[in-house]
Structure 1
């Protein structure tokens, strides 16, 4: 551990840069998954046929091993961060779509009927009733997607990406445990912090919903 702490003291600037790169890749991939996944989840909740098609395609994407998916994407997008971000986007889709779908379909029908009774349009019911009540479920999906994305991002260097994975693979190739831990420990901390922050937000929305 002494070697690890010495390495961190000597290279903390580079580690901060790698951590920032790691966070940016995850945030962009997750944001894209939200922009695409939430509308797909809404679409799935409105029609059973659409639900089967959308969830099946998302499940197929999730089944692909992360490295195999990134290699396939590399053929289309080349080496670099773009391939990693697209991979994180695709890997984050299923939790976002599925939990949006589940959350919307779990809303009590009587509440929706009450909305209709006071003259709300279907769009108003969706925005003002269904989505707020489904938010805790949706946050669960975002929480799962964030943790998955942080983990998958560690293999980014294998397809020319940046982030903390650079230290992990440098440590493995050079048989340098200090570099390995310098990449792995911050990545693990990022995953724990993301999970904790989203869990608290999820609990807050549940309390507000009650």
Structure 2
């Protein structure tokens, strides 16, 4: 245990730098995935004939081994953060897309009919009825993606994208458990913190009345 803390103290500046790099890789990838997947999911709710085909195509990406996908990026866009972000974004699309589609499709048709009867436009129904109800589904997808992306970002070290994977691979090459833990523990802490923050955000965004109903 003392050796582990000595490793942390001796290398804390590098660990902090790699943690920041890891956070940037993960955050940018998740945000881009949300910007792409949520609008597509909304679009598919009004074009259901396309839904199965598009979701199936996106799901094929999940079948590609992560290391292989990172490798495929090298001849296409080289090495560094850009190919890593592209690969991480591709992996992040399916859960957000699927949850957005399922969440909005699952809204009670009676609520949509009521909104239409009140003179609301399709856009108003989407923003004021469907999205608020489907938000928990969408946020669940984002939480899954955030955890998945933070974990997968460790592989980005193999294409020189930085992050905590650099420390983990260095520890493996040295056969040094303390160095491996110095990279692995921050990854686990990031997963826990981000998951809790997203849970808190979802709770904050949930109207008080719905929160009270969920407790009953």
Partner in structure 2 of residue 149 of structure 1? 149
Go from structure 1 to structure 2 and tell me whether the alpha carbon gap of 1:107 and 1:77 turns closer, same or farther (over 3 Å shift).
same
Partner in structure 2 of residue 186 of structure 1? 186
Partner Cα separation in structure 2 for residue 61 and residue 190 of structure 1:
25
Tell me, which stretches of 5 or more residues in structure 1 are unaligned?
none
Secondary structure at the aligned position of 2:82 is classed as: helix
Partner in structure 2 of residue 130 of structure 1? 130
Q: TM-score, normalised by structure 1?
A: 0.96
8 Å contact kept, 1:40–1:54? no
Deviations 1:136-170 (A, max 9, x none): 10000000000000010011111111000000000
Partner Cα separation in structure 2 for residue 20 and residue 111 of structure 1:
44
Q: TM-score, normalised by structure 2?
A: 0.93
Moved over 2 A (4+): 199-209
Tell me, which stretches of 5 or more residues in structure 2 are unaligned?
211-216
Partner Cα separation in structure 2 for residue 202 and residue 103 of structure 1:
15
Partner Cα separation in structure 1 for residue 176 and residue 83 of structure 2:
28
Partner in structure 1 of residue 10 of structure 2? 10
Partner in structure 2 of residue 60 of structure 1? 60
8 Å contact kept, 1:133–1:209? no
Partner Cα separation in structure 2 for residue 28 and residue 209 of structure 1:
33
Alignment RMSD, CA only? 1.3
Task: Tell whether 2:177 aligns with 1:177.
Answer: yes
Go from structure 1 to structure 2 and tell me whether the alpha carbon gap of 1:172 and 1:74 turns closer, same or farther (over 3 Å shift).
same
Partner in structure 2 of residue 140 of structure 1? 140
